[in-house]
Structure 1
Amino acid sequence: MTKPPYRVPSMAEVRAVPWNGFNGISTFSGCGGSSLGYRMAGFRMLWASEFIPAAAETYRANAAPYTVLDTRDIREVTAADVLESTGLKAGEIDLMDGSPPCAAFSTSGKREAGWGIVKQYSDTRQRVDDLFFEFTRLLGDLQPRTFIAENVAGLVQGTAKGYFKEILAALRKAGYRVSAKLLDAQWLGVPQARRRLIFVGVREDLGMDPAHPTPLPYRYTVRDAVHDLPGAFDDLQTDPETGQQLSLRGYSVERLWREIRPGQGHPTRLSLKRLSFDQPSPTIVARAGTTGTAALTHPDHPRYPTLAELRRMGGFPDDFVLTGNYYRRWERIGRAVPPVMMARIAATVRDELLVPLRDAGRI
């Protein structure tokens, strides 16, 4: 297969995508990366839930006019609230989405040392390792026809496997056939290596097995993503969108940067990674340079990526609105499911599950 040029549709193009006839709701919606992917696949996302104020602000700035955004703690949300907002009955939602916070299971974090503890998460303090069970609570009460849930690869590694087994059991107890696979964004059209555990479920009474997308036979590189952006190859000192400093802070960090070959990380400063134009970006993480080191740097210059470059590498439209300062905007992309990745997952559920059910007159 010939690799087509890398291009993410604009927000206007996404808004113009014809409705595929299916509706959806989203929990733990973040800035709207998953929701945007569903919209790219033609779904109407009728309701979304996001508790973090900064993330909700960005979601609201890009939401479709028909989407209701609920900003309460998910623990306070009931199925009756969702059904009242959407005008639907239990069993009538076509797809339920959820990306419960995953920091508790990430291999880059403290993992089990932080389980069961209320701690800082983005702009809030909360316990996060139990939130997947809030998703399963709503799932059981709402009984959507299908669901897609996302979490970090670390959920199936080491001691976190116990949580994974409990989550899988809870999803099945809610009445679903469930499949979970590790998928990598770089094989689903995104110029970023980002491995995520994707759960797909189908309600038992529908008698169908879950489906996951097939990886593409090609990958996009950083060069594919940013080559036509103004300043993409320049030694910029400030981000043109926010005016915030992009150069690395301090001589020691800049010296470390010069010791790293493009496409590699520093052997002792693991948070410092230098992009390569000829490879996909490493995973874009949530925190960027707030302690004097940067998660990612430009291949040729000692600076952080611009927000325009981050959008491209994150699979977001160029005109997707990000709010807050430079670091908050980086965090929104770093915590999001790449929309292009979710669009492919959503299209698979649409074409292999929902459309056949509709064509058979079963929904």
Structure 2
Amino acid sequence: MQYKLGELFCGPGGIAFAAINSSSLDGSFTINHEWANDYDRDTCATYTHNICKGNGNSVIHEDIRKLKMEKLNPINALAFGFPCNDFSVVGKQKGIDGIYGPLYSYGIKALKHFQPDWFLAENVGGLRNANDGQAFSQILSEMKNAGYVIVPHLYKFEEYGIPQARHRIIIVGIRSDLSEKVSFKVPSPKPYSNIDNSCKNAIENPPIPIDAFNNEMTKQSAKVIERLEHILPGQNAFTADLPENLKLNVKGARMSQIYKRLNPSKPAYTVTGSGGGGTHIYHWKEPRALTNRERARLQTFPDSYKFIGSKESVRKQIGMAVPCQGAKIIFDAILNSFAKIEYESIEPNISE
């Protein structure tokens, strides 16, 4: 059985790459790309280059509010990482009252229109708290009313061998008429407990090839270099013992990631796609920001994965993506569920 996957808010292809490389243990269930949509041109170009091998007809560059779903090919699986801007704890958390918050409704619209066998939806952990928790309850309710039995869970990807502390809510839904025979369970992180998920291991083993895509160095000012030389691994601009001339004159901003250097023995802190100076993720030893390729490794993209666009566009794409290897674990579990193959699982940590 090969599922035809449609994707909304597809991003640069972290979910898609995971999906097309997933299968049930016996190989009887797999996933194939059918179509994808995103509003960002560079993102669509990256997705097309890596997932569709240059055939961009199935990747629709369009604002989802203008997307005509009835013209898209039928699918029996759906993925949508609906925009997190209004749900992130880094932002203002306007939730469903913001510009991006209501866009989840297009995922619900797709569920009702296509009635896929299953879906996977992804968002930030802050989704649970937006609008005093009402946004999350509303989204889950609409997914169930669209005809699905859902399993929401806050995945801490570092527990699954991913070299990054990235916490994301993933909601898996099985169509109600199939749920008596198919039961999805949250995959256990236990099989991945012995993986070296330190950021140092991810970035250095194996060494990044000299001619790797997207590996340009970021130019640092002399002052930034001097500041970084006073910051120890794991420290940031506010916890380090900085001379007065190197301290940040910023009131009310104590974001822990500002000029924070990685701790080489631990997973990286969360790779983000937004923010300006001081938020680029900084090497534990060298006084510099990570390259985009190093950031992509923390997101478990292979070195052969080419991101298209300016350096800042690529930085944003990588930060907004889902870690490929983390998503693959969940897709494998979905496919094993349909194949009736048992796998080690845990109880979901979010109640409906």
TM-score (norm 1): 0.79
Q: Measure the CA separation in 2 of the matches of 1:56 and 1:194.
A: 24
Residue 304 (structure 1) shift: 1.1
Q: Does 1:60 align with 2:41?
A: no
- Provide the secondary structure at the position in 2 that maps to 1:286: coil
Q: Measure the CA separation in 1 of the matches of 2:284 and 2:213.
A: 20
Q: Does 1:174 align with 2:146?
A: yes
Residue 313 (structure 1) shift: 1.0
Amino acid of the structure 1 residue aligned with 2:308: T
Q: Measure the CA separation in 1 of the matches of 2:292 and 2:217.
A: 12
Match of 1:27 in 2: 8
CA offset digits 1:181-236 (Å, max 9, x no partner): 0002212232111000000101111124332221132351112212245479xxx9
- Provide the secondary structure at the position in 2 that maps to 1:43: strand
Residue 24 (structure 1) shift: 1.4
CA offset digits 1:158-180 (Å, max 9, x no partner): 53511100000100110001111
Residue 242 (structure 1) shift: 5.8
Q: Measure the CA separation in 2 of the matches of 1:296 and 1:222.
A: 11
CA offset digits 1:40-93 (Å, max 9, x no partner): 1041011111111121121111122577111122122344222xxx3x3xxxx3
Q: Measure the CA separation in 2 of the matches of 1:346 and 1:134.
A: 22
Match of 2:347 in 1: none
Q: Measure the CA separation in 1 of the matches of 2:234 and 2:78.
A: 37
> Aligned match of 1:223 in 187, 196, 200?
200
CA offset digits 1:270-321 (Å, max 9, x no partner): 3222112211111100036x4x323310101111112331221111010101
The answer to which of 292-301 and 165-174 deviates more is 292-301
> What does 1:9-28 correspond to in 2, within 5 Å?
21-28=2-9
Amino acid of the structure 2 residue aligned with 1:212: V
> Aligned match of 1:129 in 101, 104, 115?
101
Match of 2:333 in 1: 348
Match of 2:25 in 1: none
Q: Measure the CA separation in 1 of the matches of 2:259 and 2:129.
A: 24
Q: Measure the CA separation in 2 of the matches of 1:295 and 1:274.
A: 10
Residue 248 (structure 1) shift: 2.8
Q: Measure the CA separation in 1 of the matches of 2:272 and 2:110.
A: 29
Residues matched between the structures, number: 311
- Provide the secondary structure at the position in 1 that maps to 2:186: coil
The answer to whether the 8 A contact 2:87-2:130 is kept is no
Q: Does 1:44 align with 2:51?
A: no
The answer to whether the 8 A contact 2:160-2:193 is kept is no
Residue 26 (structure 1) shift: 1.1
What's the C-alpha RMSD, in Å, of the aligned pairs? 2.5
Match of 1:209 in 2: 183
Amino acid of the structure 1 residue aligned with 2:235: Q
Q: Measure the CA separation in 1 of the matches of 2:299 and 2:8.
A: 20
Residue 134 (structure 1) shift: 1.0
> Aligned match of 1:286 in 273, 277, 281?
273
Q: Does 1:313 align with 2:295?
A: no
The answer to whether the 8 A contact 2:130-2:136 is kept is no
Amino acid of the structure 2 residue aligned with 1:181: H
The answer to whether the 8 A contact 1:187-1:218 is kept is no
Distance 1:73 1:217, change over 3 A: same
Residue 22 (structure 1) shift: 2.4
- Provide the secondary structure at the position in 1 that maps to 2:164: coil
Residue 23 (structure 1) shift: 2.2
Amino acid of the structure 2 residue aligned with 1:209: S
Residue 247 (structure 1) shift: 4.1
Q: Which has the higher contact order (CA 8 A, sep 6+)?
A: 2
- Provide the secondary structure at the position in 2 that maps to 1:131: helix
Distance 1:189 1:54, change over 3 A: same
Q: Measure the CA separation in 2 of the matches of 1:115 and 1:297.
A: 33
Amino acid of the structure 1 residue aligned with 2:271: I
CA offset digits 1:136-164 (Å, max 9, x no partner): 11111110000000000001125351110
Q: Does 1:187 align with 2:159?
A: yes
Match of 1:110 in 2: 92
- Provide the secondary structure at the position in 2 that maps to 1:218: coil
Match of 2:245 in 1: none
Match of 1:122 in 2: none
Superposed structure 1 runs of 4+ greater than 3 Å apart:
114-117, 228-232, 239-245, 253-256
The answer to whether the 8 A contact 2:212-2:303 is kept is no
Gaps of 5+ in 2: 23-29, 239-253, 342-352
Q: Measure the CA separation in 1 of the matches of 2:206 and 2:136.
A: 41
Q: Measure the CA separation in 1 of the matches of 2:58 and 2:299.
A: 25
Q: Does 1:265 align with 2:236?
A: yes
The answer to whether the 8 A contact 1:249-1:293 is kept is no
